[in-house]
Amino acid sequence: MIRNDRELPPAADRRTTDADGHDCIDPLGVAIVTVSSSRGDGVEKTPPDPSGDAIASILVEAGHVVTSRRMVPDDYVRIKTTVSDCLDRPDVDLVVTTGGTGVTVDDVTPDAVSELFDRELPGFGEAFRWLSWEEVRTRIVSTRATAGIARDVPVFVLPGSVNAVELATAEIISEEAPHLAGLATRHKVE
């Protein structure tokens, strides 16, 4: 399981501005939550998590710090509670979930997590589906990938496939999350 054990400086020391003068937090403290009925709880040994590993690898390569990795089954209450716990951590500036975004009855991640959103980011889902078009064509209609701001933290809800998380993380999240985290917390700056 990929994890970066680098020490994360206080948020105030990581607050910067980009070339356009926009608020940023960099590096980010990242929590990754993998939702899977086949890899969830009840396993003594840590099960493989290729999608979570892909998210971690891309974000660590971009200079961020993975501060939490969790794996939960497709259960509405467990997903919501786990993400909520991540949002309460002082070392988490970004939460990314993977899995449970389809259309089956047990795909409840978007429902559970979006209840925590203070503000939605509909542009993420639109951009993700647009970028996915070449690979999956009309199957993009079956993903309910979404994003929002919850308790001043950007939260991205991704599908479970490795290709999907690599695309979303490399092309959107790693590019925009520092800026989103900076904007979402700007009201806290003295």
The two structure tokens encoding residue 90: 């002082």
pLDDT in tens, 106-142: 999 999 999 999 999 999 999 999 999 888 888 888 7
User: Residue type at 121?
Assistant: L
Q: How much is the pTM?
A: 0.91
Question: 18-41: string of b/e by CB count within 10 Å (b at 16+)?
Answer: eeeeebbbbbbbbbbbbbbeebbe
**Do 23 and 71 form a contact (C-beta atoms < 8 A)?**
no
pLDDT in tens, 57-90: 999 999 999 999 999 999 999 999 999 999 999 9
- Cβ-proximal residues to 141 (8 Å cutoff; 6+ apart), any chain: none
User: Does pLDDT of 42 surpass 70?
Assistant: no
CA 124, CA 12: separation in Å to the nearest integer?
27
CA 179, CA 172: separation in Å to the nearest integer?
11
Q: Which helix (H) or strand (E) holds 122?
A: helix 122-136
Note the pLDDT of residue 5.
56
Q: Which helix (H) or strand (E) holds 152?
A: none
Strand partners, 14: none
- Cβ-proximal residues to 59 (8 Å cutoff; 6+ apart), any chain: 28, 30, 66, 94, 96, 169, 173, 174
Note the pLDDT of residue 1.
47
